[in-house]
Amino acid sequence: MSGTTFSGTEICQELDRLAASGMNLDDLLSRAVGLLHEAHPRFHWTGIYELFPDNTLRLGPFIGAPTDHVFISVGEGVCGSAVAEKCDKNVPDVSKEPNYLACSSATRSELVILIRKGDAIFAQVDIDSHELDAFDPQTQREVSKVAQWLAGAYAASGAGASG
Ligand code: SME
């Protein structure tokens, strides 16, 4: 487990500045992915899946290797299970997770944080690492701050939410 940490609050402050300058939601999502990806050396794939009303997650902005999993049904994989169970997922060893969809053979652990307001789920932040057990509780908390900020941006944009 790495002792490296980063500040989700600082990322949110940067997103505040960008939103105040009039940046739209799609560009804010891309910037959030970029800021998160750069924030931690163990983040090897960082992306956002958006939830659509047909109960499908669709890949939005991401940084890392291209993935075949552009569409994921609710309930499928770690990403779809997070939505079905309405809870974040921290998988320390993906080889021990039966409901795992492999994007890259290099991935060892995965973190999924829902972008939600209560039961209304807009999207999720998905981060893969080549290290086992890459996401300590502090890291998870900092990513959650950014996800919470993005939930506010979705709500402010009038985007629909599934819940
Ligand atoms: N591993 C995910 C699929 C998405 S990729 O990691 C980018 C899952 O099991 O749902």
pLDDT tens-digit readout, 16-38: 999 999 999 999 999 999 999 99
CA of 81, closest atom in ligand 1: 10
Cβ(124)–Cβ(144) under 8 Å? no
Q: Is 126 in the pocket of ligand 1 (CB under 6 A)?
A: yes
Atom of ligand 1 nearest to the CA of 97: 9
How many angstroms separate the CA atoms of 79 and 56, rounded?
Answer: 10
In this prediction, residue 155 carries a pLDDT of: 95
Can you give the pLDDT at residue 1?
43
Ligand 1 atom at shortest distance from the alpha carbon of 103: 5
d(CA 59, CA 70): 5
Spell out, as residue ranges, where the chain has pLDDT lower than 50: 1-2
pLDDT of residue 161: 59
Q: What is the pTM of this model?
A: 0.94
Q: With a 6 A CB cut-off, is 67 part of the ligand 1 pocket?
A: yes
| pLDDT attached to residue 94 | 98
Q: In this predicted structure, what is the pLDDT of residue 2? A: 46
Please tell me the distance between residue 79's alpha carbon and the centre of ligand 1 in angstroms: 6
